Amino acid sequence: MDDKALTLRETLLNACRSDGLDPDLLPLLEDIATSCRVVSHLVQSGAFTGTLGGAGSTNVQGEAQQQLDVLSNDVFVRHCSSSDRVAALVSEEVEEVYWLKDNPGPGDYIVYFDPLDGSSNLAVNMCVGSIFSVVRLDREIDASDDRSVLLPGSSQICAGYSVYGPSTSFVLTTGNGVTGFTHQPGTGEFRVTHPDMKIGDTATEFAVNASRYALWDAPLRRYFDECLAGESGPRGQRYNMRWVASMVSEVHRILTRGGAFIYPCDDGNREQGGKLRLMYEANPMSFIIEQAGGRASTGLERILDVVPTSHHQRVPVFLGSKSEVDVLDQYHREAQQG
């Protein structure tokens, strides 16, 4: 790694000077980056500290929590609470909103996060990660009502994720493109390794859990069947399918290599509205993908335009290269129109 590559702090300072980034956002983003460093260490040392197993509890979605889910949540809460501009924290792992201010107002921040995405992969040593986004309030909100945090994804001023794999990546947008950083061992710094990340408009890969094919609606079956048909099919090319059951890992690959990430609403999760959570999974990733030149949709509308009804709301997710998401949207619209 180039020791002269810009650090996260240097990159953010440049954004404050040239892109109008709120200077008060800088320490919060550094706190989030610190959270990711700590979680990365917890993941790497889990086999030695005895923290890779289940926690014996469930989260608000009824999913079994891993010990590292709970520990990672505590890390994010501790570090993000240090900023006097943060009004509230919204986590996948906690049912209620964690309010830090009694009277939140203009200029205050709300942080949404999934502290450890893909934690079911920990026992088999596969990639996991963290996802986050920040909204800056433009008005006073009621801290006695958790519905006050129900803001559309278009309100986000920054979003990012970290991948804990062979190296620790930190991918960030503040609304002016997407920058990828890599943690430099020994220095503790995140340095720019992937400036101005762009997602290709065409692709030959897609990520979906094909074991649920029998539960899918007709539009997704149509897309899937056409991709499998290869050069002789209507898409006219061969596709590769990937699936590792970690949104952050799948989206990182799609962002760097192009393609489509697919997690639909199907007969197995229709009552819940889908699998992935809007506020701290779909919204942050959609913001990043759009800033990289891609698209993110529910199949019928732009994800960032969805007005949330609950801070644990779930939605279908189709995101990635524009051409692929366009096709998925077209098939869903045609099915809706009959």
Task: Give the torsion sign (CA, 264, 268, 272, 276).
Answer: negative
Binding region for Mg(2+): 92, 114, 116-117, 281
Binding region: 92, 114, 116-120, 209, 275, 281
Contact by Cβ (8 Å): 70, 50: no
Instruction: Find, among 97, 87, 118, the residue nearest to 263 by Cα.
Output: 118
Contact by Cβ (8 Å): 90, 149: yes
CA 100, CA 116: separation in Å to the nearest integer? 22
Residues in the chain: 338
How far is the first Cα of the chain from the last one, in angstroms, to the nearest whole number?
Answer: 54
Instruction: Find, among 72, 76, 75, 189, the residue nearest to 122 by Cα.
Output: 72
Full DSSP string of 295-335? EEESSSSBGGG---SSTT-EE-EEEESHHHHHHHHHHHHHH
**Tokens coding 107:** 């200029």
In the numeric block, the tokens 């501009």 are attached to: 85
* DSSP bridge partners of 87: none
Binding region for substrate: 117-120, 209, 275
